[in-house]
Amino acid sequence: MNNDPREANRHPAHSDKQDKKPLDATLLDEQLVAYLDGELDAESGRRIEALLASDPEVRGRLQSLERTWDLLDELDAAPVGEPFTHTTLEMVAVAAREEVEQERAVAPRRRRRRRLAILGAILAAAVLGFLSIALLTPDPNRQLLVDLPVLVNLDEYRQVASVEFLRLLRKEKLFDAEATGTADAGLMAVDGPTAARRHRIESMSPEQKDELRRAAARFAVLGPADQQRLRQLDARVRSGDDSPKLQAVMHRYCDWLKSLPLYSRSELAELGPEARVKWVKRRLSFEDQAREGGGRLGGRDTETLGKWMNDCVERHEAAFLKTLPEPQRKRLSEFSDSAMRHRLVAGQMWLSWQRAHADEPGKMPPWVSENDLRRLRSQLSPQARKRLESRPTAQEQWNLVLAWMRHAMRPAASHAHGPLNPDDERLAAFFEKLPDEERNRLLSLPGEEMQRQLLRLYLTRIHAPGPPMQRGGGFDRPKRPGDDRAPKPSDKAGKASRS
């Protein structure tokens, strides 16, 4: 939008004969904002609408204001728990008592009695309110028995989220296999009357009881609606004719999920059934491809690949930068530290390669040419070159190079910082190292949200510092001050589990 009032005055609405008053750009903005807020009268609204219909620039202005406003929805809303309500009511009750005390000192006896009666009523009501909530809360043991089938499969139910998803997996023949006794054992063993369930719990090992207790705690922090949804899911999974097969698919699917990075699991859980099945299919196909032709390169070839990537970044940096939005390009140009800028550009370029691949597998970005691939081929060892040349087209070769690069990144990331797929123990260790304030904030969140935010913190703190490659080639980088934040003792475990 042009800020020049003279420009603004050229708009038809501004030259409206009914309104001789110049409408400058600021006033126009005010009118646009008021229009968005539904604060214009009918006449002004019509004038703005006419202006919007005739002037694409003003339309763009309005859209940009509206979209910015919509972005405020990103601001998180922190939930407030019952303890806070309790404290607030107690505080007010104390204030009420003080008020009455003061009144008592000056007021006649009759009035004092009335005040005291009111105070009594306030306190009694508050206490009664909380007592009634407490009394209405079901006996934990009874509830545990009722929810036992949900609790023993809690994590799996939360992952699959709907019976429709399981049926879609079956329909697509994903994770399909004949239901086995083992697969069904978990559910069947906890089904049946309450007495049988009680007996089942009593016969559990201490570890199993601990696990059940933890599941009950996780279940308890879910909202009533989520709890009810899981109970319904459990009922539907166990009641259909296809129940044994659905259960088998669920167990296999959840076993497979364990092989995914936590963030992928977390992201998957947010998708609807059909989108999730689609994602799973792509992932499985990707894994198949990797098994068939991808794989890792040897140490020397990995180093060659790293140098080649750096070379690509330097060679195509200018062309790549032209594709970035102006503000981003400007910010990058403001970095005086050329090594830092190089890392940032490299990171962004690597991201764009992956995105181009996601759009269309094998699609080569415009700033990587067949010459680049030829150069890489000439630098690789004969074995690696042979593997690359076995792919007939440049697209397929590029696919393989991308797969190599992903594999090459993996050890660098996990050696330097820790795995991208942290287990509970590693997350717990990370949590313990957080500052008190941050830990308290996390602890105040509902279980699932806490887990999600903790994982985000882990990924951003532990992994954010690492560039994909360094100037000069190779994937290793010198130790930097921030590295000490990674949980070192378990790094060895991370390496071992990947080797």
Closer Cβ to another protein, 2 or 328, answer by number: 328
Residues 309-348 close enough to bind another protein by CB under 8 A: 325, 327-328, 331-332, 340, 343-344, 346-348
Closer Cβ to another protein, 279 or 431, answer by number: 279
How far, rounded to the nearest angstrom, does the alpha carbon of residue 327 sit from its chain's CA centroid?
A: 26
3-state secondary structure 420-471: CCCCHHHHHHHHHCCCHHHHHHHHCCCHHHHHHHHHHHHHHHHHCCCCCCCC
Of 10-18, 249-257, 378-386, 418-426, which segment contacts another protein by CB under 8 A?
418-426
Q: Report the nearest approach of another protein to the CB of residue 285 (Å).
A: 9
Q: Per-residue x/- marks for another protein, 228-267, CB under 8 A?
A: --------------------------------xx-xx-xx
The rounded distance, in Å, linking the Cα atoms of 15 and 351 is: 49
Question: Which of residues 244, 365, 419, 487 is near another protein by CB under 8 A?
Answer: 419
> Is position 160 an interface residue for another protein (rule: CB under 8 A)?
no
Question: Which of residues 283, 307, 375, 385 is near another protein by CB under 8 A?
Answer: 283
Site size toward another protein (CB under 8 A) is 101
Closer Cβ to another protein, 198 or 307, answer by number: 307
> Is position 359 an interface residue for another protein (rule: CB under 8 A)?
yes
Closer Cβ to another protein, 123 or 450, answer by number: 123
CB neighbour burial string for 95-117, b if at least 16 within 10 angstroms, e if fewer: ebeeebeebeeeeeeeeeeebee
Cβ atoms 23, 4 nearer than 8 A: no
Task: Work out the angle at residue 392's Cα, subtended by the Cα atoms of residues 391 and 394, and round it to the nearest 5 degrees.
Answer: 85
Residues 50-89 close enough to bind another protein by CB under 8 A: 64-65, 67-69, 71-72, 74-80, 84-85, 87-89
Region of 161 on the Ramachandran plot (φ > 0 left; ψ -120 to 50 alpha; else beta): left
Closer Cβ to another protein, 245 or 276, answer by number: 276
Residues 120-149 close enough to bind another protein by CB under 8 A: 121-126, 129
Residue closest to 470 by CA, chosen among 342, 305, 302 = 342
Q: Report the nearest approach of another protein to the CB of residue 214 (Å).
A: 26
End-to-end CA distance of the chain: 57
Region of 296 on the Ramachandran plot (φ > 0 left; ψ -120 to 50 alpha; else beta): beta
Question: Which of residues 53, 118, 318, 319 is near another protein by CB under 8 A?
Answer: 118
Classify burial at 341, counting beta carbons within 10 Å of its beta carbon; exposed 0-12, middle 13-18, buried 19 or more.
middle
Question: Which of residues 44, 238, 279, 379 is near another protein by CB under 8 A?
Answer: 279
Closer Cβ to another protein, 14 or 342, answer by number: 342
C-alpha distance from residue 144 to each of 136, 220, 222 (Å): 16, 10, 14
Closer Cβ to another protein, 373 or 434, answer by number: 434
H-helix segments, 72-147:
82-106, 109-136, 140-146
Q: Report the nearest approach of another protein to the CB of residue 185 (Å).
A: 31
Closer Cβ to another protein, 48 or 148, answer by number: 48
> Is position 39 an interface residue for another protein (rule: CB under 8 A)?
yes
Question: Which of residues 7, 16, 24, 29 is near another protein by CB under 8 A?
Answer: 29
What 8-state DSSP symbol labels residue 482?
G
